[in-house]
Amino acid sequence: MIEPAVYRELGLKDEEYRRIEQLLGRAPTPTELAMFSVEWSEHCGYPRSRPLLRLLPREGKFAPRIAGDAGGIEVAPGITVLFKLESHNHPSQVEPKQGAATGVGGIIRDIFTMGARPIASLNSLRFGELETSLAKFLFAGVVDGIQFYGNCVGVPTVGGEVYFNRCYRGNCLVNVMCVGVVATDRIALGRADGPGNAVMYVGSSTGRDGIGGCSVLASHEFGEGEEKRPTVQIGDPFTEKCLIEACLEALDTGAVVGMKDMGAAGLTCTTSEMAAAAGTGMDVDLALVPRREAGMEPYELMMSESQERMLLCVKAGEEERVASIFHKWDLNAVVIGRVTDDGILRVRDGGKIVAEMAAQDLASPPTYDMPTEQPAYITAAASRDLSALPLPKDYDRALLDLLVSPNIASKRWVWEQYDHMVQINTAVLPGGDAAVLRLKDLPEASGAPPKCAIAVTTDCNSRYCYLDPYVGAQIAVAEAARNVVCTGAEPGGITDGLNFGNPEKPDRFWQFRRAVEGLADACRELRIPVVSGNVSFYNETPTDVIHPTPVIGMVGVIEEVELRCTMDFKQPGEVVILLGETLEELGGSEYLAIAHGIEAGRPPALNLGREKAVQATCLEAIRAGLVRCAHDCAEGGLAVALAECCIRGGIGAELQLPSSQAHLRLDAALFGESQSRIILSVRAQDVEAVARVAESHGAPWSAIGAVGGKNLRIESAAGLRVIDLPVAEMEQTYEGAIPGLMS
């Protein structure tokens, strides 16, 4: 008889334990109990989120490939780009460098385990206010972990985002994304097909690091003063580099039937899920598992999340051939068992059976229909009257205050620590709307354009999601799509990282439900499939709960890399065009938070029909060679977007707000964050052509001035000069903000 305190400590509920006894027909052994606890945890099994995730659309303009640990889109006949976003929030709060580093290592493995060569990483990070010592410590440690692992393993970190808000004080968010390329007919699956085939353990040895990481650490909220360092894994990027090459080489032999990363839940995850996916069983012997610590118990071996390990299903008779490849790379490669035809996962420790259950039972946790309740703050925040707020006395000062805000200021301090040029595919560097990567060395028979490229980005404004999770999630999708469009890419597919509080609290689960519904509706309307993703719950402490943060990782496709577009103003005399329309919307804006200390109001409205028209106009104009600069209007509104174009180009502009904005509050016209807006700069002779494109799609547009001079000068719709700032001063403010705080 197992005491309730034992299974509860592992995260299992009373009814779940009773279900386990029913499935087994007896009380579980300690090893079985540990295995069920990790596989049925929220981090691995998604028992609370899985029913809602079925709402997400899987079809789009590009053929989706959803087949294993990651998903992707076929960007050209025979060529698939695989991508996945994963969270490592709780480990990074406990030990920021290793938490972030092993997050990077894990997401890279999710890509090459499917046969794709990893070509890029991105991230999406959230911390408490950067003025606090804890936030600085976590921020510096996480960035250090990302650069350490990514730079050493040879996968460039090309993009991402960083935000700061007090709601993340007790729970930083570290979401990491990886992108890889594979021939469509060479995608590897995480299946253990073929009774009699070998089950092979490859990679690093197993230790006690990471035990219970998914059930104890990632599937519960932090209690007061809790430290959970033993559950944080330790990564070795040099071993991972060898593992990448060995796995891809082994797949090339044709001897590997299936392969899966020993990530969350380690051997439990790989053995049960590979067998369940194929409808087979496995018989494995833990006595054969390479280990680096003496005296490890069977449950420890099955739960360990030691890094840089894979489980392979290898054709019978090909074991030595495959093992020799891993040995050449100085890696373990040991046959630890065989595939069986009885559907049973049988775990031995030498001659003793320590676990025996149906693989399907272990890999199919019960699901829950969680109660929901709209949080009380929603109505109060939405009804907040913002019309009586005083206007700025000095608009120059207001703009500089936004440029120095860590949420808007340059993130160069971050991305200059990353090697973003290794593999020499990076055609548009970090710091813009999206990074652009060349797709090189594609097979001639693939039918891919010879200069095909992809654009990649991550996006989410969690303040919008806090005020309205449905609209906020839709805006995250729309902005991600807008960002890749600004580079000249057609939005192709997304991966999501859904970060929320405790799902067992009805108000938190209401936020999750509404965000998933918004995400699904936006993707369906924009015809963008969700090909992979991750759910991270329990991101809260007794004093703080994070804002709902559904991070979107987007991949777009560029047929001709030479037509890529960037956000910097280029030459004097270029005409500046504003696509879209500005409304009187201050709710949820960075300006409202910085100038008035308020997080309230309704987030900006999103008209998906208007969004499609603006994106289609921008994309067609770029592909026609009409656009010199394109930049999305986001946090800080029109004034900040124009300032960023000036700063990146090292040149000023003379501008006037459109007459259609004469009725707006001036702060809303300058700093409001109305959606579906893109700034373009075009040659004077191309203005009419761009106008025709806009009109053909029904997109509003206005010519608002020209590039030139050393200052950003903006006049109101009535002709009153309201902003006149040297580009050099804006640049110093924008670039110096985060280094100044971190020094």
Cβ–Cβ under 8 Å, residues 176 and 104? yes
Helix (H) or strand (E) holding 479: helix 469-485
So what's the pLDDT on residue 215?
44
Report the percent of the chain where pLDDT is more than 70: 96
Clarify whether residues 246 and 286 are in a common domain.
Answer: yes
Q: Record the tokens describing residue 48, joined without a space.
A: 């609370």
Question: How far is residue 678's CA from residue 434's CA, in Å, rounded to a whole number?
Answer: 14
User: Residue 634: inside a domain, yes or no?
Assistant: yes
Question: How far is residue 727's CA from residue 648's CA, in Å, rounded to a whole number?
Answer: 10
Domains contained in the chain, number: 3
Clarify whether residues 205 and 255 are in a common domain.
Answer: yes
Helix (H) or strand (E) holding 109: helix 96-112
Encoded amino acid at 585, one letter:
E
Per the listing, tokens 């206010």 go with: 129
Of 716, 600, 702, nearest in space to 669 by CA: 716
Reported as a single tens digit per residue, the pLDDT across 705-731 is 999 999 999 999 999 999 999 999 999
Task: Answer whether residue 187 shows pLDDT above 70.
Answer: yes
Of 719, 578, 720, 705, nearest in space to 653 by CA: 705
**Which of the four pLDDT bands, split at 50, 70 and 90, describes residue 655?**
very high
**Which of the four pLDDT bands, split at 50, 70 and 90, describes residue 67?**
confident
Reported as a single tens digit per residue, the pLDDT across 631-648 is 999 999 999 999 999 999
Clarify whether residues 708 and 736 are in a common domain.
Answer: yes
* Higher pLDDT, residue 499 or 43: 499
User: Residue 573: inside a domain, yes or no?
Assistant: yes
Question: How far is residue 449's CA from residue 435's CA, in Å, rounded to a whole number?
Answer: 19
Q: Which of 13-22, 436-445, 521-530 has the lowest mean pLDDT?
A: 436-445
Question: How far is residue 473's CA from residue 56's CA, in Å, rounded to a whole number?
Answer: 12
So what's the pLDDT on residue 446?
61
Clarify whether residues 217 and 144 are in a common domain.
Answer: no
Per the listing, tokens 């797709």 go with: 439
Give me the CATH number covering residue 229.
3.90.650.10
Clarify whether residues 681 and 532 are in a common domain.
Answer: no
**Residue where a domain terminates, one of 515, 549, 564:** 564
Clarify whether residues 86 and 213 are in a common domain.
Answer: no
Encoded amino acid at 236, one letter:
D
Task: Answer whether residue 228 shows pLDDT above 60.
Answer: no
Task: Answer whether residue 569 shows pLDDT above 50.
Answer: yes
Give me the CATH number covering residue 98.
3.30.1330.10
User: Residue 446: inside a domain, yes or no?
Assistant: yes
**Side-chain half-sphere CA neighbours of 414 within 13 A:** 28
So what's the pLDDT on residue 443?
66
Clarify whether residues 156 and 246 are in a common domain.
Answer: no
Residue 481 DSSP SS3: helix
So what's the pLDDT on residue 363?
94
Q: Record the tokens describing residue 354, joined without a space.
A: 């320590």
pTM of the model: 0.95
Can 88 be counted among the known catalytic residues?
yes
Contacts made by residues 592-595, CB under 8 angstroms, sequence distance 24+? 592/386, 592/389, 593/463, 594/401, 594/402, 594/405, 595/392, 595/398, 595/401, 595/667
Cβ–Cβ under 8 Å, residues 209 and 262? no
So what's the pLDDT on residue 226?
44
Q: How far, CA to CA in Å, does 210 sit from each of 218, 270, 533, 544?
A: 11, 16, 22, 25
- Overall average pLDDT of the 219-247 stretch: 73
User: Residue 352: inside a domain, yes or no?
Assistant: yes
So what's the pLDDT on residue 448?
67
So what's the pLDDT on residue 221?
56
Of 655, 289, 739, 678, nearest in space to 487 by CA: 678
**Residue where a domain terminates, one of 350, 366, 382:** 366
Average pLDDT, the chain: 94
Reported as a single tens digit per residue, the pLDDT across 504-543 is 999 999 999 999 999 999 999 999 999 999 999 999 999 9
Question: How far is residue 637's CA from residue 647's CA, in Å, rounded to a whole number?
Answer: 16
Task: Answer whether residue 230 shows pLDDT above 60.
Answer: no
Torsion over CA of 26, 29, 33 and 36, rounded to 10 degrees?
-70
Query: Of residues 88, 420, 631, 697, which has the active-site annotation?
Result: 88
So what's the pLDDT on residue 43?
84
User: Residue 392: inside a domain, yes or no?
Assistant: no
Task: Answer whether residue 547 shows pLDDT above 60.
Answer: yes
Reported as a single tens digit per residue, the pLDDT across 78-95 is 999 999 999 999 999 999
**Residue where a domain terminates, one of 520, 549, 564:** 564
Interacting residues of 444 by C-beta distance below 8 A, sequence separation 6+: none
* Whole-angstrom Cα Rg for the chain: 26
Clarify whether residues 157 and 197 are in a common domain.
Answer: no
Q: What angle do CA 698, 703, 706 make, to 5 degrees?
A: 150
Q: Record the tokens describing residue 29, joined without a space.
A: 């052994």
Clarify whether residues 72 and 123 are in a common domain.
Answer: yes
* 3-state helix/strand/coil string of 304-345: CCCCCEEEEEECCCCHHHHHHHHHHCCCEEEEEEEEECCCEE
Of 741, 737, 734, 738, nearest in space to 399 by CA: 734
User: Residue 456: inside a domain, yes or no?
Assistant: yes
Clarify whether residues 213 and 178 are in a common domain.
Answer: no
- Overall average pLDDT of the 600-623 stretch: 98
Clarify whether residues 613 and 533 are in a common domain.
Answer: no
So what's the pLDDT on residue 734?
98
User: Residue 393: inside a domain, yes or no?
Assistant: no
So what's the pLDDT on residue 445?
55
Reported as a single tens digit per residue, the pLDDT across 416-437 is 999 999 999 999 999 999 999 9
Helix (H) or strand (E) holding 260: strand 256-261
So what's the pLDDT on residue 69?
80
Question: How far is residue 414's CA from residue 206's CA, in Å, rounded to a whole number?
Answer: 33
Domain boundaries, position 530 = 49-186+424-564
So what's the pLDDT on residue 444?
63
**Which of the four pLDDT bands, split at 50, 70 and 90, describes residue 235?**
confident
User: Residue 272: inside a domain, yes or no?
Assistant: yes
Handedness of CA 273, 278, 280, 282 (dihedral sign): negative
Task: Answer whether residue 146 shows pLDDT above 60.
Answer: yes
Reported as a single tens digit per residue, the pLDDT across 36-57 is 999 999 888 999 999 999 999 9
Clarify whether residues 535 and 651 are in a common domain.
Answer: no
Cβ–Cβ under 8 Å, residues 290 and 172? no
So what's the pLDDT on residue 14?
93
